[in-house]
Amino acid sequence: MSGSNFGSDELAQFRKTFFEECAELLVDLEERLGALHPYTQDVEGLNAIFRAVHSIKAGAGAFNYTGLVRFAHTFEALLDRLRDGKAELDERTLPCLISAGDVLAALVDTVREGKTADEAFGADVRDELESLMDGASGGASPVPAAKADAAPTGPQGYRIVFRPDSELFRHANEPLYLIRELKTLGTLEIACDTSRLPDLAGLKTDEAYLSWTMTLRTDKPRAAIAEVFEFVEDECELIIEPLADAVEATPEAVPQAVTIAPAAVAVPVAAPTVERAAPHPEGKAEQKASVASSIRVELARVDRLVNMVGELVITQAMLAQQFNENDVGQGGHKTLQGFEDLAVLTRELQECVMAIRMQPVKSIFARMPRLVREVSAKLGKTVHLEMSGEQTEVDKTVIEELADPLTHMIRNAVDHGIESTEERIAAGKSPDGTIHLSAQHVGSNILIHVEDDGAGIDRERLLRKAIERGIVSANAKPTGEEIDELIFSPGFSTAAAVTDVSGRGVGMDVVRRNIINLGGRVQVQSTLGKGTRFTLVIPLTLAVLDGMIVAVGEEKYILPLTSIVESIRPERGQIRALTGGYEVASIRGEFVRLVHLARVFGVPQAVGEPWNGLVVLVEQANGTKIGVVVDELIGQQQVVIKSLQDNFDPVAGISGATILGNGRVALIVDIEQLTRLADRPHPTPLPNTDAPSSLTDELANVA
């Protein structure tokens, strides 16, 4: 079936895979580049970067993307020199590497879109790479001496045992080419071992029978030889050992597969017998296992799995409930036990499945050092970024949605948060600013802090601006926290000068909206002169939610547990009606606006008076508290979030739905929309939800 000519479908599939791999490699590349520091010898990091670039080059070569290959080649060449210690990673090289990474990514993008890159594109970076390379090789570098495993002393040799698996041929690799490549490294003596070759009758065309033992005399490092075999190392048995060692070493010191070492050079034919005895199946299996430690799965499949398990959990709960309701007869006890075991198992299964989608936040954190470096360089500030909790895991979809807001916040912190060096010195602070980015798990949420030691929010100036722009009425007396909240108002920027770094105040309101869309919240704490701290509270996953089930009339609704502060049954005297139909409850001296869920949603037969029902105190994303009046609390439950919008239009006040243990659908209340819904005399569906709830509204509401 598999002819040598691939159909266009297959080719398209290969190409798709190539670009998927490129995307991953580029992410890895960027991460590794970001971790490099001038004048350090991070051989492992450089190797990883080299491999990424090399893999992209190899793939690009297969598809004839010549521009990409050419650039990758130059990039790779410099990297090779760096890791061999022939060039030094100084403050000129590092930015060049980073911009080379950008160019590479851009080139990949270009070819993915089917365009041909402009010849001149990236040429400047390539020239610089080349110049760095020349400079390095020209100025006889004293560095290599310090390097441990490179820098061979004088010409020496290696013994190479190369025994291809049949896999190697299946992947269309050709030993001849590899051997030719080896020959370019030095003088090569080759002995071919044909002892495994069967009679012609028993010959299978797709088996690998030949192996080679070679002696290479070269002054190149071992890595140069390993590189020749780079793409086949999983598909063959390969032993590369320094010649001198092989001769001098005692038999037990040498790896067991080559106990014939002393005789190896002279009698290569002897090798196979010993090698065959070597436990290579295990060795191979081990190698394969390390390769297969992760698999690439389409996200849609995982989503489907998550959904199915969600159904399973619901069905299990439903069964258990029905069983409990029915009369438990003979043997009921055993069945009950079975149900309990089932419940435990399904819960564990659900956790496992959810864990598949979890990824460390490192993938976005890793972009930040570079961002800080670039932005601070542009602004002429010195800013250090400290990070912690990069390994904290969160759902993949959350990670994707988190990248933009976080980028924005970091950029803001460098631009607006941290003062200029002169101002810092004048204020008696260290001239270098520090931003701390951290992540941690708290319950079923992830907490992300972005903290700077900058000037903090100047409340006086902020309020003045807000009044100027009519965001706050002139006679309002907002509290300090409420003023801080103003930075989340749309179109609000307090930066004295608009810079091209953070733009024109289309910032924090977008950040807040993004975070709210994730079901999370943003808070700000600031001390004038000391710094500002933003806290993002985001659910670990968008698929499940900890909810409180409440009853209103015949209906049941779910309030997100993260928003709930407390629930109380108020005294009659705590409730006061205001003009315009507003009702407030006085709770420990604080006046909280009440919103009747029954009225907002038009539910009949609900408890009318708050003192006969319950008031659930919830906190909106902007920190405003409201009291949601319900009939009663049913209980707390983790629910699987279902979209209403797959089959219907958005419903005002409802963020989603879930399925309860009895199989009925329950609606999840969108706390953020409640006040606005309640403000309408006869609530009708809102066209969209991005109308900002301004501080003045909230202030008026609180009375």
Partner 1 sequence: MADPQDQQNPETTAGPSSPATRQFISFRVGDEEFAIDIMAVREIKGWTATTVLPNQQNYMLGVLNLRGTIVPIFDLRCRFGRGLTQATATHVVIIVSVDDRIVGLLVDAVSDILTVNAVDIRPVPDMEQTVDSAFLSGIIPVGESMVVLLSLENLFNQTPSAGLPAIAA
| Minimum distance from residue 630 beta carbon to partner 1 (Å) | 14
Report the alpha-carbon distance of residue 194 to residue 188 in Å, rounded: 19
Report the alpha-carbon distance of residue 502 to residue 495 in Å, rounded: 9
For the CA atoms of 137, 143, 146, 151, the dihedral, rounded to the nearest 10 degrees, stands at: 10
Please report, as ranges, the residues that interact with partner 1 according to CB under 8 A.
307-308, 310-311, 314, 555, 600-603, 642-644, 646-649, 651-654, 657, 659, 663-667, 683-685
544 neighbors 604 (Cβ within 8 angstroms): no
| Minimum distance from residue 663 beta carbon to partner 1 (Å) | 6
Q: Quick one: which of 91, 92, 117 has its CA closest to 106?
A: 117
Question: Which lies closer to partner 1 via its Cβ, residue 431 or residue 602?
Answer: 602
Residue 405 tokens read as 């807001």
Per-residue three-class SS string for 658-679: EECCCCCEEEEECHHHHHHHHH
| Minimum distance from residue 349 beta carbon to partner 1 (Å) | 16
Residue 515 tokens read as 């975070």
Question: Which lies closer to partner 1 via its Cβ, residue 73 or residue 642?
Answer: 642
- Residue with token string 């949603």: 601
| Minimum distance from residue 672 beta carbon to partner 1 (Å) | 15
| Residue 280 main-chain phi, psi, to 5 deg | -70, -25
Question: Which lies closer to partner 1 via its Cβ, residue 261 or residue 594?
Answer: 594
Question: Which lies closer to partner 1 via its Cβ, residue 350 or residue 363?
Answer: 350
SS3 446: strand
| Minimum distance from residue 683 beta carbon to partner 1 (Å) | 5
Residue 107 tokens read as 């080139």
Question: Which lies closer to partner 1 via its Cβ, residue 119 or residue 649?
Answer: 649
Question: Which lies closer to partner 1 via its Cβ, residue 484 or residue 555?
Answer: 555
Question: Which lies closer to partner 1 via its Cβ, residue 290 or residue 684?
Answer: 684
Question: Which lies closer to partner 1 via its Cβ, residue 175 or residue 310?
Answer: 310
Strands (E), 431-529: 433-442, 445-452, 521-527
Residue 463 tokens read as 């309020």
Report the alpha-carbon distance of residue 594 to residue 585 in Å, rounded: 7
Report the alpha-carbon distance of residue 199 to residue 525 in Å, rounded: 81
470 neighbors 489 (Cβ within 8 angstroms): no
| Minimum distance from residue 677 beta carbon to partner 1 (Å) | 8
Alpha helices in 441-527 (DSSP H): 459-468, 480-485, 508-517
Question: Which lies closer to partner 1 via its Cβ, residue 119 or residue 298?
Answer: 298
Question: Which lies closer to partner 1 via its Cβ, residue 462 or residue 657?
Answer: 657
∠ CA 464-466-470, rounded to 5°: 115
SS3 642: strand
> Cα-atom radius of gyration of the chain, to the nearest Å?
33
Question: Which lies closer to partner 1 via its Cβ, residue 461 or residue 664?
Answer: 664
| Minimum distance from residue 353 beta carbon to partner 1 (Å) | 14
| Minimum distance from residue 517 beta carbon to partner 1 (Å) | 19
| Minimum distance from residue 9 beta carbon to partner 1 (Å) | 20
| Residue 538 main-chain phi, psi, to 5 deg | -130, 135
| Minimum distance from residue 554 beta carbon to partner 1 (Å) | 8
In sequence order, what are the residues at sequence separation of 6 or more whose Cβ sits closer than 8 angstroms to the Cβ of residue 649? 685
Secondary structure tally for the chain: helices H, strands E? 24, 22
| Minimum distance from residue 322 beta carbon to partner 1 (Å) | 15
Residue 359 tokens read as 């990824």
